[in-house]
Amino acid sequence: MSATQPDNANKSPAHDSLVRDAGAPPAGLRVDGVALVRGGRLVQNALSLAMVAGEVTLLRGPNGSGKSTLLRTIAGRLPAAAGTIECDVPVLYIGHADGLSPALTGRQNLADWAMLNGLANDDVAIDAALDRMQARAFADLPVRRLSHGQRRRVALARLTLGPSSALWLLDEPNSGLDAASSIALDDLISDHLKGGGMVLAATHLPLGITHSPRTLVLEDMA
């Protein structure tokens, strides 16, 4: 299994960028025959998926069917039980947990995350990221004082600091967002796809993005 470095806590030599030669297929994600195991139970077997720049795929399926497990496996946080995963673009993962330090402000969280990932962490870049998710008004408060929706907006703002070619792995990204923030997220995803990025998202809620998504339905194997 080989992929690029995901976000801050998941840099691993096993996920270095692939070296691509002339005539190679377009940059993207390739999942081939992957089996997923959670808690000692096989949740998916022989999953395959291919994505290239500008594409979005929505993961659907009942709870326990392996949607979050698949995202975490592609991000390098969990091993695949079988099969291969290749990704030759940077990977950014936003899971159920926002991954924010409660003692730091939202602004400090973004700056630290950007620094750990070698991304721009100057005030201009941070402010622009916060503005995209309408989060600047509370960005200087400790995260522990923020509501669930506010924390989610800060977490999602990190995506805009990454490269335009990145694969975004999003687990229930619009959970806890109000209508205005959901629209901001839709615009964020649409702009990323328009710029040549890719998005793989598990969500029970609709996304109002401008690109037509494909859907991968995971059946419950129990």
- 66-113: pLDDT as tens digits: 999 999 999 999 999 999 999 999 999 999 888 999 999 999 999 999
Task: Give pLDDT, residue 25.
Answer: 55
Mean pLDDT of the chain: 87
Assess whether pLDDT exceeds 70 at residue 126.
Answer: yes
Task: Give pLDDT, residue 122.
Answer: 86
Residue 136's pLDDT band (cuts 50, 70, 90): very high
The structural domains of the chain, ordered by start, are: 1-102+167-222 (3.40.50.300)
Assess whether pLDDT exceeds 80 at residue 2.
Answer: no
Task: Give pLDDT, residue 121.
Answer: 76
pTM, two decimals, is 0.86
CB 158 within 8 A of CB 92: yes
Average pLDDT over residues 14-30: 54
Render pLDDT for 183-217 as a digit per residue (tens, 0 to 9): 999 999 999 999 999 999 999 888 999 999 999 99
**Strand-pair category, 56-60 with 214-217:** parallel
CA pair distance 195, 192, nearest whole angstrom: 5
Assess whether pLDDT exceeds 90 at residue 17.
Answer: no
SS3 (DSSP) at 110: helix
